[in-house]
Structure 1
Amino acid sequence: MPHRGGRVAIFTAAQETLIVDMVRENNLIRLREIRDKVIADNVNFESIDDVSLATIDRVLRRQKMRMKQVYRVPFARNSARHKDLRYEYVQYLFLDEAGFNLQKRRQRGHNIIGQRAITEVPGQRGGNITLCAAMGSEGLVHRHAVVGSYNTQHLLTFLEELRDILLDRQQHHPGPAHHIYVIIWDNVGFHRTNQIREWFTTNSNQFLNVCLPPYSPFLNPIEEFFSSWRWKVYERQPYTRENLLRAMELACVDIPVEAFQGWIRHSRAFFPWCLARDNIACDVDEVMWPDAAQRHDAAQ
């Protein structure tokens, strides 16, 4: 609609945006300095020879900009280099093991009503194959599978390989002089043997280990990795040990980095409950004991 009465706006919408940009570029700029810049700019403000400080103040208020206390931040604090140094100074790595064999399949399927859902499996399940994996915010850092169960010697080999991978990464991406990696895992017995403790003592300048509290797998996001990983192994339907090993390896590659970051965020969501010493229930509790008062972990 055409303008009907009243004062005509001095600045166009585009010119008001330019004034806002001046403030964004320099939070300490004064109204007088903005006015001087406007008058001196014969390209973007060619038709404006004079403007009052009150008008500029109204423009800023209309754009939701207000006078605020100034907080001083050292210019180097948030430089790209310093942010990289802080990122690399401490990195958390979540570690765990999971087993698989040839007869493992999905436990539920579809079929016509009255008929069983059937899937074919090898006659011999074969020996278990156990995958040990370490993950961080950038995805899977290292994984290694062995036939049978993991033990202290296998774990020592895994830790040596993990250390070499991380040291090699440091050489290609130099950062702080002393990286510190924190290994977070569950409290299973062979994680606490003398040999494992000696390894961390020997490598204490770079590695620390933290055991999860009992009954707290929800604090280790790698549990969610293994849950997703198993489904991807199922999809490949391996029928021989060689195919199973390949399926386990390919399933690791299939999972994007964004999934790992989401699992880490999910585990952190439990932190407020832990700090408040609240009860933490799982879906099994709610199904078996709908009445919270009947659950074994109910507050006394």
Structure 2
Amino acid sequence: MNEHCRIANEIVMSDNRVEEIVEEMDIDEDPAFTYGKLLLLADDQTAPRKVVEDAAIDENNEQDVNAQKETSLFDSEHKDSTKFLPYKAYGPENIRRFIELVQEEGGSIAKHAKACLIPRSTAYEILKQWNESDGTAIPANNIKIKEEHTRFLIGLVDSNPCVTVSMAKEELCKLFEDLQIPESGLRKHMTEKIRLSLKNSSLYTMDRDTNRTIGLRYKIITEWKAAGVDFQKNCVFIDEAGFNSHQIRSRAWSLKGEPAQVKVPTQKGVNLSIVGCISPFGTINFSKVEPLKPSDVAKIEKEFPLPKSKKRKAKTENTPKTKVKKGTTAYHIVTFVRNVMDVLDRHDKNGFFIVMDNCRIHHSHYVVEAIQNRGYIPLFMPPYSPFLNPIEECWAKIKSHVRRNPLSSLDTLTPRIQEACRSVTTEDCLGWIRHSETFWDRCLDKEAGLA
């Protein structure tokens, strides 16, 4: 094995947060995984190699239609320049100019409002405020939040991204006792002035930004570069993902005041584990992990004998029966990797790097030896660094496809997953790989907060 790759792998495998090498055909206890052999769902022959041309034709047609619409609207936009103005395009200077025009020229209020980019209804409200103040003060455009308030809100959101508008108002008014602002006004300030937006939250493990993790990334990326690792030229990426029949989108539509309910099968069903592999030239293999039978245990023990240091005691009458392993085992990974290497051999890609995360079953000597014996090189990701693994983005697309429509009583999960796997294109894979490579230099700069 390339010396630099060996050093990089040893760095990953020696980290105390990574479990010991699996000397037995052990299991991954993650409940997202089921158990068993592999059922091919998609491979390098079934996945699309380019974007469908019909989609490009439809896009061009849509652009032509939009161009016609823009042409037809051109004259109407010139007739009323304020009709399509963004919300609150005016400011204090516009208000001052509007008051000045009303005082100096008189005439149509609507005309002066249009000249100052102020909506007509707002112009009358401004005049009302002006008159009620006896003409001694120009309306202040309702600005209540100052720069110090904004800085406090930014710090509050940085420290607690899950803070609600109600909680933010409470904390803000507690610190600035003279401030009075409704929640609607505060929400508007947070979204329009600070430019915050509410999104689906995702978990970010604190260990991602420890000095040890950042240092490991630096060392491993340095060794990768020295070894000639190039994600776009000589690497394939293997990983597992879990699915179940209750996977739906996290947001849904409903009438105002009513909960958004999505009907799903009564039984969640057995969770499925899918093992996948992508490359710069497209998808290679997606397979479903299938149940392991008791008869497979003897086959596994014969094909993957334990080393002498791990030999089991001789069986007696009191020895309990060997349990069938559950979860994704090293046996499944070996079987899958062999299929992947068969595909690579057909395409003259011998000697490629086979990249996996630092999951303990990937470190098994069975997996490592199976890869090395065929002339390929195993490569393990740094801990807590999913952004370096392009196949993570692939799983996001597949799961989004599966969640698109809830499963009905007539649907089954496996065909839905198979359809999603076959939707992954070569362009998708290249895009994800290029994106993951953009993090290399940031890791070498020892940057934190990567995601």
TM range (shorter): 0.5 to 0.7
Task: Tell me the residue number matched to 1:49.
Answer: none
Task: Tell me the residue number matched to 1:156.
Answer: 334
Cα distance in 2, alignment partners of residues 193 and 144 from structure 1? 20
Task: Tell me the residue number matched to 2:247.
Answer: 104
TM-score, normalisation: structure 1: 0.58
Q: Are 2:436 and 1:258 equivalent residues in the alignment?
A: no
Amino acid at match of 1:163: M
User: How far did residue 242 of structure 1 move?
Assistant: 7.2
Q: Are 2:358 and 1:187 equivalent residues in the alignment?
A: yes
User: How far did residue 237 of structure 1 move?
Assistant: 3.3
Task: Tell me the residue number matched to 1:249.
Answer: 418
When residues 236 and 166 of structure 1 are mapped into structure 2, their CA distance, relative to the original with a 3 A threshold, is farther
Amino acid at match of 1:224: E
Cα distance in 2, alignment partners of residues 264 and 281 from structure 1? 16
When residues 136 and 201 of structure 1 are mapped into structure 2, their CA distance, relative to the original with a 3 A threshold, is closer
Task: Tell me the residue number matched to 1:208.
Answer: 377
Q: Are 2:401 and 1:232 equivalent residues in the alignment?
A: yes
Amino acid at match of 2:328: Y
Task: Tell me the residue number matched to 1:167.
Answer: 345
User: How far did residue 186 of structure 1 move?
Assistant: 0.7
8 Å Cα contact 2:283/2:425 also seen in 1: no
Task: Tell me the residue number matched to 1:141.
Answer: 284
8 Å Cα contact 1:229/1:251 also seen in 2: yes
More contact order relative to length (CA 8 Å, sep ≥ 6) = 2
User: How far did residue 168 of structure 1 move?
Assistant: 2.5
Task: Tell me the residue number matched to 1:223.
Answer: 392
Cα distance in 2, alignment partners of residues 241 and 94 from structure 1? 34
Cα distance in 1, alignment partners of residues 253 and 437 from structure 2? 36
Cα distance in 1, alignment partners of residues 361 and 334 from structure 2? 10
Q: Deviations over 1:4-55 (max 9, x none)?
A: xxxxxxxxxxxxxxxxxxxxxxxxxxxxxxxxxxxxxxxxxxxxxxxxxxxx
8 Å Cα contact 2:281/2:430 also seen in 1: yes
Q: Deviations over 1:104-126 (max 9, x none)?
A: 11121111221111111111111
Cα distance in 2, alignment partners of residues 241 and 120 from structure 1? 13
Aligned to 2:242, what secondary structure does the other structure show?
strand
8 Å Cα contact 1:97/1:130 also seen in 2: yes
Aligned to 2:422, what secondary structure does the other structure show?
helix
Aligned to 1:110, what secondary structure does the other structure show?
coil
Higher strand share: 1
Aligned to 1:114, what secondary structure does the other structure show?
coil
Aligned to 1:98, what secondary structure does the other structure show?
strand
What is the identity percentage for the equivalent residue pairs of Structure 1 and Structure 2?
29
* Runs of 5+ unmatched residues, structure 2: 1-229, 292-326
Amino acid at match of 1:99: G
Cα distance in 2, alignment partners of residues 227 and 104 from structure 1? 12
User: How far did residue 276 of structure 1 move?
Assistant: 1.5
Query: What RMSD over aligned residues (CA atoms) do the two structures have, in Å?
Result: 2.2
When residues 240 and 202 of structure 1 are mapped into structure 2, their CA distance, relative to the original with a 3 A threshold, is farther
Cα distance in 2, alignment partners of residues 107 and 256 from structure 1? 25
Aligned to 2:247, what secondary structure does the other structure show?
coil
Aligned to 1:249, what secondary structure does the other structure show?
helix
TM-score, normalisation: structure 2: 0.39
Amino acid at match of 2:268: R
8 Å Cα contact 2:237/2:354 also seen in 1: yes
Aligned to 2:448, what secondary structure does the other structure show?
coil
Q: Give aligned pairs, total.
A: 186
8 Å Cα contact 2:353/2:379 also seen in 1: yes
Aligned to 2:352, what secondary structure does the other structure show?
strand
When residues 93 and 109 of structure 1 are mapped into structure 2, their CA distance, relative to the original with a 3 A threshold, is same
When residues 142 and 119 of structure 1 are mapped into structure 2, their CA distance, relative to the original with a 3 A threshold, is same
8 Å Cα contact 1:236/1:247 also seen in 2: no
Q: Are 2:446 and 1:277 equivalent residues in the alignment?
A: yes
